[in-house]
Amino acid sequence: MPSPGHELPRLYMVTYSRVFSFPEEELPSLVSSAVSRSRIIVQLREKHLDAARLYTLAARLQSAINKSDSLLFINERSDIALAVGANGVHMPEQSCPLSATRAICPGLYTGKSTHSVQSAITAEQEGADYLLFGPVFDTPLKRKYGPPQGVKQLGEICKNVSVPVFAIGGITPENAASCLDEGAYGLAAMSLFASPTNLHRTIESFQTILNHVHHE
């Protein structure tokens, strides 16, 4: 199992299973199909599900990902990450402290959502293996987190930390290069799962851009 220290994939997909009628069936099959073409991170983030359903879904995603070199991260619930043998746990900003989570999850990647330079620096000090920063651009799914932060602010974050930073929030193949130019390590998106019909084409477009711009 890949563990911290290995190079992280640069494309990061956050699940959005509410578009599916049967998420426990449809999401794993979508993830299987995605990881068969590309090495990605899949973050299971389904806050509306109770822990029993979340566990079932996580276990299915883990078996869909097992045979690939992609990684499964679970949002916030380190217990579920440990229970299904996921590769990591991703902590929202108002979550159990990263240091406490790392203490019970040795060997798992731990990441953190950040919305400011200060919180990014703090997260790195607490031991985050990577950060999500956003929303970089305007997106209906992220409006509750405030106005878009813009690529300049993304650049500020990337200058102030040394761990990989993934840009999130309204990332499209059209604006992705501008994030990488500002120093982002990778690209994260929820909309990939919100419009599953174009999944392969979208992944391909992002991969082309990522292959074109090497992270330094």
Partner 1 sequence: MNKLLCFITTQQDNPEIVAEEALKGGTGMIQLRHKNASGHDLFTWALSIGKMCRRYGALFIVNDRLDIALAAGADGVHLGQNDLPIDVARKLLPSPAIIGCSVSSVHEALDAQQKGADYIGLGHIFPTGSKQKENAPLGPEYIRTVKQSVDIPLIAIGGIGLDNAREVMSNGADGLAVISAISSAVNPAEAARELAIIIEQT
* CA 186/CA 177 separation, integer angstroms: 10
Q: Does 1 bind partner 1 (CB under 8 A)?
A: no
β-pairing, 130-133 vs 165-168, is parallel
Round to whole Å and give the CA distance between 157 and 120: 7
101 near partner 1, rule: CB under 8 A: yes
User: Binding-site residue total for partner 1 (CB under 8 A)?
Assistant: 22
Q: Is residue 83 close enough to count as binding partner 1 by CB under 8 A? A: yes
Q: Determine contact, residues 135/150, Cβ cutoff 8 Å.
A: no
Q: How far is the CB of 49 from partner 1 (least distance, A)?
A: 9
d(CA 205, CA 207): 6
- The answer, yes or no, to whether the previous bond of 135 is cis (omega within 30 of 0) is yes
Answer for which of 41, 91, 123, 203 binds partner 1 (CB under 8 A) is 91
Q: Which is nearer to partner 1, 33 or 116 (CB)?
A: 116
- Nearer to partner 1 by Cβ, of 15 and 78: the residue is 78
- Residue 95 binds partner 1, judged by CB under 8 A: yes
Q: Which of 94, 162, 197, 211 binds partner 1 (CB under 8 A)?
A: 94
Residue 133 token pair: 């920063």
The values of phi and psi at residue 124, to 5°, are -65, -40
Structure tokens at 162: 């040394």
Contact criterion met (CB below 8 Å) for 138 and 158: no
Nearer to partner 1, 30 or 61 (CB): 61
Q: How far is the CB of 57 from partner 1 (least distance, A)?
A: 13
Question: Does the protein bind partner 1 through residue 125 (CB under 8 A)?
Answer: no
Q: Does 26 bind partner 1 (CB under 8 A)?
A: no
Residue of 100, 143, 160, 181 interacting with partner 1 (CB under 8 A): 100
The C-alpha R_g of the chain, in whole angstroms, comes to: 16
Instruction: Tell which positions 45-64 bind partner 1, by CB under 8 A.
Output: 50-53, 55
Sign of the C-alpha dihedral computed for residues 66, 43, 83 and 102 taken in this order: positive
- Both tokens assigned to 112: 């953190």
Nearer to partner 1, 47 or 214 (CB): 47
Residue 29 or 119 with smaller CB distance to partner 1: 119
Residue 54 or 136 having the CB closest to partner 1 = 54
Cα(121)–Cα(194) distance, rounded to whole angstroms?
31
For partner 1, the binding residues (CB under 8 A) are 50-53, 55, 76-80, 82-83, 91-92, 94-97, 100-101, 103-104
